[in-house]
């Protein structure tokens, strides 16, 4: 029987950067995520939570929390990118492993600035760039696992080169499932017009991790019509708490339960920027809702 272990992340508290005066202080995040009924969390942007393993373990232990994964971005399709990407990966992987985490969520960097909408590079990769990205991820996943014992879970992202269902399939079909699998972010897939259930059906063996979020369909339609950058979409409320958006959670959780795997499902509702008082009640409602979906595999411990 599957175990879908649900947790939360700094993103659901409006945290996008290591240090930003608009963001909730990390101690308040830790207090509130524990008060919401979650036990498992992610690191969020490297440097937001303490980077000293002893201090981080103390902070987590005081609140009965554990770490499921770290998070980092990559741009391996670019020339001479390995050293810069590996330096960031190594910092995150080392800390994640030191405090007991087993996964690192790897996200493709965006082709346009999420805040300004400035186009940073072409929105489509060439065949050669695809080769560099997929082969680079295989090497990265292998190195992460062999050196630190953590698994690479690749996270498709809006306004990146691995965004649509088609591009997700292309990525999966050109990477090695021994070292790279999929962090299925239900919100980003729906935001980009994809079908989460189809991805699960077509590549069940590659579903290694989940980010749970929903998308407001009205905001998504406006984003598509006006070609808005992701940051503006988030400020408009593109990502919403369940069950107010898509995809529907019960069928998705049931499909994952049918995979007969143990998997983390981290609630990750993009909310930057947000009032410091907004996240806690949303997190509490979301935890209660997910527990009421009628899927026995869902648990929070």
Q: What percent of the chain has pLDDT over 70?
A: 100
CATH number of this structure's domain 4-299: 3.20.20.150
The per-residue pLDDT for 30 is: 98
Query: Alpha-carbon distance 133 to 127, whole Å?
Result: 10
- Model confidence at 6: pLDDT above 90: yes
Arithmetic mean of pLDDT, 219-243? 96
Task: Give the pLDDT confidence of 13-62 residue by residue, as tens digits.
Answer: 999 999 999 999 999 999 999 999 999 999 999 999 999 999 999 999 99
Which pLDDT does position 154 carry in this prediction? Answer: 99
What is the pLDDT, as a whole number, of residue 115?
82
**Would you say residue 281 has pLDDT above 80?**
yes
| pTM for this model (two decimals) | 0.97
Distance, in Å, from the CA atom of 93 to the CA atom of 102, rounded to the nearest integer, reads 9
The share of the chain scoring above pLDDT 90, in percent, equals 98
Taking 80 as the threshold, does the pLDDT of residue 1 lie above it? no
> What's the confidence (pLDDT) of residue 67?
98
What is the predicted pLDDT for the residue at 254? Answer: 98
pLDDT given at position 242: 97
Side-chain half-sphere of 182: how many Cα atoms within 13 Å? Answer: 29
Instruction: Tokens 């410091």: give the residue.
Output: 276
* pLDDT (0 to 100) of residue 69: 98
Q: How far is the C-alpha of 118 from the C-alpha of 139, rounded, in Å?
A: 31
pLDDT tens, position by position, 146-175: 999 999 999 999 999 999 999 999 999 999
pLDDT at 272: 95
Give yes or no for a contact between 269 and 13, defined as CB atoms under 8 angstroms apart. Answer: no
pLDDT in tens, 80-118: 999 999 999 999 999 999 999 999 999 999 999 988 899
Give pLDDT, residue 114. Answer: 87
């Amino acid at each position: 029987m599957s175990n879908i272990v649900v947790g939360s992340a700094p993103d659901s508290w409006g945290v996008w950067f290591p240090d930003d005066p608009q963001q909730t202080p990390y101690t308040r995040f830790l207090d509130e995520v524990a008060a919401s009924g979650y036990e498992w969390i992610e690191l969020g942007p490297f440097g937001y939570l303490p980077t000293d393993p002893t201090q981080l373990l103390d902070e987590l232990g005081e609140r009965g929390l554990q770490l499921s994964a770290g998070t980092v971005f990559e741009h391996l399709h670019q020339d001479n990118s390995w050293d810069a990407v590996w330096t960031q990966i190594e910092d995150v992987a080392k800390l994640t492993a030191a405090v007991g985490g087993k996964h690192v969520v790897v996200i493709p960097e965006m082709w346009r600035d999420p805040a300004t909408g400035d186009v940073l590079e072409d929105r489509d990769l060439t065949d050669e760039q695809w080769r560099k990205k997929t082969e680079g991820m295989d090497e990265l996943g292998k190195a992460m696992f062999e050196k630190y014992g953590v698994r690479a879970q690749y996270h498709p992202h809006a306004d990146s080169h691995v965004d649509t269902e088609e591009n997700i399939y292309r990525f999966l079909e050109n990477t090695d499932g021994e070292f790279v699998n999929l962090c299925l972010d239900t919100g980003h897939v729906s935001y980009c017009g994809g079908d989460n259930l189809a991805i699960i059906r077509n590549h069940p063996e590659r579903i290694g991790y989940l980010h749970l979020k929903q998308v407001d369909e009205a905001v998504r339609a406006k984003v598509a019509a006006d070609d808005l950058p992701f940051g503006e979409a988030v400020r408009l409320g593109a990502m919403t708490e369940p069950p107010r958006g898509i995809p529907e959670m019960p069928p998705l959780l049931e499909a994952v339960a049918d995979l007969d795997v143990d998997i983390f499902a981290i609630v990750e509702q993009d909310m930057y920027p947000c009032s410091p008082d907004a996240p806690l009640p949303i997190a509490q409602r979301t935890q209660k809702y997910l527990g009421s979906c009628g899927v026995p595999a869902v648990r929070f411990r």
